[in-house]
Amino acid sequence: MRIVNPTFGIEPASEGTATAAPVDWLNDPMILFSNNKPNAKELLEGVRQRLSAIRRIDNIDYIAKPSASQPAPAETLNDVVRKYRIALLALGD
Amino acid sequence: MPDAEVLDIPDMDPDAWADYVEQQGWTDGLPLVPPTEAAVARMVEGARGDNEPVPPITPRLMTPTIRSLAANAVMAGCRPEYFPVVLAALRGVLVADYNLHGTLATTHSCAPMVMINGPLRKTLNVNCGSNCFGQGWRANAAIGRALQLILNNVGGAKPAVMDRLTFGSPAKYTFCFGENEEESPFAPYHVRQGFAADESVATVISSEPNHNLNDHGSTSGIDLLTTFAGGIASPAANNISAKGPFFIVFGPEHAATLARDNWTVEAIQQFLFDKARVPLSEVSAENRYRYETGGNFPENGAFKVAPTPEDIHVAVAGGPGKHSAWIPSFGGTAAISVRIKPPAAA
Amino acid sequence: MRKRGLAGVVIATETFRPLVLAQARARKLEPHLIVVKHPVGGLNAAELEERIEAAFAGLKLEMGV
């Protein structure tokens, strides 16, 4: 029998695989981005503390989504993209 | 996952078909109607003239075709005339404020609730009365099921893999009902949202199933609302942490008592907003910290369960009995109402 | 963020690994994912130390140090 595929969909137009420009992991500004779930901040703070042994940390900042259940506001993302070169996101749960 | 729109598969008996759809990962666990080309064509005809594109569906982000959507409606057991309701509900969950991705990635037990308003409820025999959240009505069962199958199959929200709910919920099979406009003393929900009374509308929100609010004893509106405020002020509901909207659905008998005592929808919303509070004594220090970092601060020693009175959505449904229903939401979601497009004349 | 030029690395628990990878695939992104044991929430400070160590080890691999 011929059936219509219930999973069928059209893929979004390919923009190629996105890759970030090379970064200086030891010096570039970095943002620690929490999804605002319990312990996500503590996890990131712990990583930041350990990073102090191998890179400068005076340009590592912390931010959290306002709500764990909702996407980060566009203005927050714009701000992050403008100010930092590296983002470490914690999806605590 | 096959990538052609039409699949040529061997003829098979119902048992083999049930095994096949299970192997493909297409089913919610119950048997499905085969989406033959002919059946899908009839379903598509049910939405004749609806050429508005449907956006990509998370998490796969594939753009569906009207035929792949119709295939899911066929599999769910829909009649062709249900299909415009399925499409309206789907468009609702794809509105950004509904937060479909968040509702699928969460571990909370949420599912898309669909409430139907307007004349189509009667045309399609949508149950708005006794047992409206339950079994026994094809329209209620199939419309909600079709929406869920679309999210599973086109969206790719496979349970326990991409759909991460800790428990899931019976509402994941279907959660669709109609407002009991005929027995409501209030203006129909969709009219209060700005639609015309003769329009049909599907309203969606990411919610838990209904929680019963029992009050057989109270004889006044204020006493009923006092009971309900206590019932919905829960320190363990998502609404306290995520601050989102929720529904309260009055049974017709409770609604009649409220109306007799001159309670308007707005006054009910304000009363519940003011009185349904969770005292700090019921909230752990860790949770208080969490809610406050999320912007939900206590007022007068208690947490709110909705951001504003308008986030308490009021409807009337069900049949005889001294019961109402609280439908807590995911929190980070919104109630979205979408007009159902009647099929164009042939 | 990666599409906008940031070097993005995600720390997720093993439970959410399939979801993160599927999201990356759907967006045609090469995933940079550090997987730690589930859960992270609900752990006390001592229990969380193991997750921090695992995340830091994964980050050092990403950094090439």
Residues of C (4-63) whose Cβ lies below 8 Å from B: 15-16, 18-19, 22-23, 26-27
Residues 6+ apart with CB under 8 A from A22: none
Give the domain extent around C53: 2-63
Given this model, what pLDDT does residue B9 score?
97
Residues 6+ apart with CB under 8 A from B115: B176, B177, B178, B179, B189, B202, B203, B204, B247, B315, B317
Name the residue facing A7 among B108, B153, B241 (closest C-beta). B153
Residues 6+ apart with CB under 8 A from C37: C13, C14, C50, C51, C54
pTM of the model: 0.93
Band (A19; pLDDT cuts 50, 70, 90): low
Chain A neighbors of C9, CB-CB under 8 A: 86-89
Mean pLDDT of C34-56: 95
Band (A18; pLDDT cuts 50, 70, 90): low
Name the residue facing C1 among A87, A90, A91 (closest C-beta). A87
Name the residue facing B63 among A10, A68, A70 (closest C-beta). A10
B101 in contact with A at a CB cutoff of 8 Å? yes
pLDDT for residue C64 is more than 70: yes
Band (A71; pLDDT cuts 50, 70, 90): confident
Given this model, what pLDDT does residue A15 score?
59
Q: Give helix then strand counts, H and E, for chain C.
A: 2, 2
CA atoms within 13 A on the CB side of B103: 31
Given this model, what pLDDT does residue B344 score?
83
Greater confidence (B221 vs A12) lies with B221
Task: Identify the residue whose tokens are 């363990």.
Answer: B236
Chain B neighbors of A10, CB-CB under 8 A: 62-65
Element (H, E) at C53: helix C45-63
Contact B341, B50 (CB under 8 A): yes
Chain A neighbors of B75, CB-CB under 8 A: 6
pLDDT for residue A92 is more than 90: no
Please report, in angstroms and rounded to a whole number, the separation of the first and last CA atoms in chain A.
Answer: 45
Residue A63 zone, left/alpha/beta (φ > 0; ψ -120 to 50; rest): beta
Residue B262 zone, left/alpha/beta (φ > 0; ψ -120 to 50; rest): left
Number of domains chain C is built from: 1
Low-confidence ranges of chain B (pLDDT < 70): 1-2, 242, 346
pLDDT for residue C30 is more than 90: no
Given this model, what pLDDT does residue A16 score?
58
To the nearest whole Å, the CA of A64 is away from the closest chain B CA by 9
Mean pLDDT of A30-50: 94
pLDDT for residue A17 is more than 70: no
How far, CA to CA in Å, does B323 sit from each of A9, B63, B215, B252? Answer: 43, 42, 6, 9
Band (C22; pLDDT cuts 50, 70, 90): confident
C24 in contact with A at a CB cutoff of 8 Å? no
Task: Identify the residue whose tokens are 């419309």.
Answer: B143
Q: Whole-angstrom Cα distance, residue B116 to residue A17?
A: 42
User: What pLDDT digit, counting tens, does each position of C50-61 carry?
Assistant: 999 999 999 999
